[in-house]
Amino acid sequence: MIVRPRPGFLRLLFVVRGTILPRVLPHVLVIAGLSCLVVWTLQRGLLRLPVTSPAPLSLLGIALSIFLGFRNNACYDRWWEARKQWGALLIELRAFTHTAIALLDDGRAELPVVGRETARRLVYRNIAFAHALAAHLRGHDARADISRFVSEPECSRVLTSGNRPNALLREQERELATLRREGRLSDITWGALSGRVHGLMSVFAACERIRTTPVPFAYTVLLHRTAYIFCLLLPFGLAEALGWFTPVLAAMIAYTFFGLDRLSDELEEPFGDAPNDLPLLALARTGEINLLEALGEPQPEPLRPRDFILE
């Protein structure tokens, strides 16, 4: 995710880093070049265009704007829903932690150490879950993070599972059920903690849904194709009416359409590594810090953006 203080009104016009410009520039230049060629040949009389009005092209352009707007909307919603799910992850992690510590370990010396140890084990497993989820969505390997927070032999069970976040939640449920069976959690307090694990599972499944189900492929193709052909037709439609203004306007329109198309692509898969994707590593780190603070243990530094990009 790009994190930078909003530049001033003017500087905003010339910012490059963190924008979509570098990725669409080649295509915009193609359109501008084609426009120059069309205008030049037209003014030399080498070409006679039958087009006498740019209005029909406008119709296609407006229809295209409406449909691009739709896809853009759908992709932005996916991105924002993904962010909401990670917000819910933090809620469930903190709520579980506060409740588990308060129920099992009240921090006073006269309580047996075993309660504190149990709470710590439950909370550590949740930290591992946050890292495992980030890695699962990004396609990384979270082996190191998991083994820091989960001890053997559970750790090997988790690492050999095809679905590590799911395996961690299963272990969590199992330990909660054991605590209930041993009478250290009542039915009600077991239900409260198990409800939090259910919440984590919802977050996990929602993230998987977003990751595995792209916007229908036919949209991507249909709109990308129409946008590209439209921009290729533009110079022919505008050259008669605009003369040497054609390259400027055609490039502007191409920049807007290609830029939105490209940005939609990035937002469609919010868990990737692209600059506008979600900072999963930073969010997982935030969770780790919150949970370690609740345990009263030393915490790592939060992740900082590098070159305005937070991972």
Site for a copy of itself in 160-189 (CB under 8 A): 161-163, 166-167, 169-170, 173-174, 176-178, 180-181, 186-189
When asked if residue 139 is in the footprint of a copy of itself (CB under 8 A), the reply is no
**Site for a copy of itself contains 40 (CB under 8 A):** no
Minimum separation from the CB atom of position 83 to a copy of itself (A):
5
Contact residue for a copy of itself among 37, 249, 281, 303 (CB under 8 A): 249
If you search the block for the tokens 């920049």, which residue do you land on?
Answer: 255
Of 116-124, 130-138, 139-147, 220-228, the segment contacting a copy of itself by CB under 8 A is 220-228
Q: For a copy of itself, which stretch binds (CB under 8 A), given 71-79, 120-128, 130-138, 145-153?
A: 71-79
Which token pair is 300?
Answer: 């790592």
95 binds a copy of itself (CB under 8 A): yes
DSSP state of 8: P
Q: Does 88 bind a copy of itself (CB under 8 A)?
A: yes
Residue 149 within binding range of a copy of itself, rule CB under 8 A: no
Angle, vertex CA 235, rays to CA 31 and CA 47, nearest 5: 120
84 binds a copy of itself per the rule CB under 8 A: yes
123 in contact with a copy of itself (CB under 8 A): no
Which residues are CB-contacts of 253 (< 8 A; sequence separation ≥ 6)? Answer: 61, 231, 234
| CB-CB contact of 294 with 98 (8 Å) | yes
Q: In terms of C-beta density within 10 A (0-12 exposed, 13-18 middle, 19 or more buried), how is residue 77 classed? A: exposed
DSSP 259-282: HHHHHHHHHHSTTSSSTTS--HHH
For residue 293, how many C-alpha atoms fall within 13 Å in the half-sphere facing its CB?
11
Q: How far is the CB of 198 from a copy of itself (least distance, A)?
A: 5
Name which of 244 and 273 has its Cβ closer to a copy of itself. 244
Per CB under 8 A, 114 contacts a copy of itself: no
Q: 252 with 59: CB under 8 angstroms?
A: no
Residue from 79, 129, 149, 271 binding a copy of itself (CB under 8 A): 79
Distance CA 7, CA 3 (A): 11
User: Which residues contact residue 64 at a Cβ distance below 8 angstroms, ignoring those fewer than 6 apart?
Assistant: 223, 226, 227, 230, 257
194, 281, 303, 305: residue in contact with a copy of itself (rule CB under 8 A): 194
- Which residue, among 286, 288, 278, 297, has the nearest Cα to 126 in the 3D structure? 288
Return the structure tokens found at 23: 């990725």
Sites for a copy of itself among residues 288-307 (CB under 8 A): 289-290, 293-294
> Should residue 209 be labelled a site residue for a copy of itself when binding is judged by CB under 8 A?
yes
Q: Is 229 in the site for a copy of itself (CB under 8 A)?
A: yes
Minimum CB–partner distance for residue 129 and a copy of itself (Å):
13
Q: Is 13 in the site for a copy of itself (CB under 8 A)?
A: yes
